[in-house]
Structure 1
Amino acid sequence: MEIERKFFINDPLPGYKEYPYHAIEQGYLCTEPVVRVRREDDTYYLTYKSRGKLAREEYNLPLTKEAYEHLIGKADGNILTKKRYLIPVVGSHLTIEFDVFEGKFQGLMLAEVEFETEEEANAFVPPEWFGRDVTYSGEYQNSRLSGLAGMELL
């Protein structure tokens, strides 16, 4: 089960580039249900996600590089590329996954925080640098971005 909240970011945390990051490329084979292929650095996998905004089922299956390259060529819509910075939440076990998009969506910045329970997610007080909570709107779900013709959400 994936339980996460997502936030639109206007002004990033100063010095965020000093934190570790992953280079991510991903494409969607289907958006209902969500079936995604992702390259994260040198790791490749296929992900299934059920419907939902705050909480939903998620399953990750490992892929070889060759299988990923075959499947990414079959992805519909936009291939998303981004750097995901891993920023610890001071005083907690939580980590902010700060996505800085590249390519077609360059300039888009989103932050996600994953939680162990829905109660923990609902009690979370975001840092001051976080912008609007877009968890329940669905407008910034990566599967939705994959289908947009332009940058309507920037």
Structure 2
Amino acid sequence: MIIDRYLVGTRLRLRRADLSDGGRELKLTQKVPIHHPGAVQGMITNTYLSPAEYDLLASLPAAVLSKTRLSVPPLGIDVFDDPLHGLVLAEAEFATDEEAQSFVPPPACVAEVTNDARFTGGCLAEASRQEVLGWLSEYGIRPE
């Protein structure tokens, strides 16, 4: 289980991730996007936190997003909890630009949203279920 807290008025994300070995990862992340089309990663800075540091930062106002992450290399597959229950997004990470450009999504992938900023975590955390359903309909996806 991953709980992301997008700190209001910042580009910062506070994450609590429960690990499969029973441990917990607590970190503060800043993502600075690079405005290039396609699968290009921006700059990411992570700071790992103690429980006391996490608790202090978790007291700040934030938009919250909860999900379960599955690993199917090279994909990380996020299965979202309420209010976005039913939304499943996959993200691939690569060591080189060539690997990223040659990646072919599996047939089960129904829409490519890499260049759609509405599907970033910070935007999803602030979106209503109805907004997300509207965005999906633009891709021809009509949930049951």
Q: TM-score, normalised by structure 2?
A: 0.77
Please, which runs of 5 or more residues in structure 1 have no aligned partner? 1-22, 89-94
Spell out structure 1 runs of 4+ moving beyond 4 A.
none
* Counterpart residue number, 1:124: 103
Other structure's SS at 1:27 match: strand
Matches within 5 A, 1:1-154: 23-30=1-8, 34-41=11-18, 42-52=24-34, 54-77=40-63, 79-88=64-73, 95-154=74-133
Pick the structure with more helix per residue: 2
CA distance in 2 between partners of 1:104 and 1:38 (Å)? 18
Other structure's SS at 1:38 match: strand
CA-CA distance at 1:31 after TM superposition: 6.3
CA contact (8 A) 1:76 1:147 kept: no
Tell me the percent identity.
33
CA distance in 2 between partners of 1:44 and 1:59 (Å)? 14
CA-CA distance at 1:69 after TM superposition: 2.4
Alignment RMSD, CA only? 1.8
Pick the structure with more strand per residue: 1
Letter in 2 for 1:128: P
CA contact (8 A) 2:28 2:46 kept: yes
User: Which of the pair has more CA radius of gyration?
Assistant: 2
Please, which runs of 5 or more residues in structure 2 have no aligned partner? 19-23, 134-144
How many residues in Structure 1 have an aligned counterpart in Structure 2?
124
CA-CA distance at 1:76 after TM superposition: 2.5
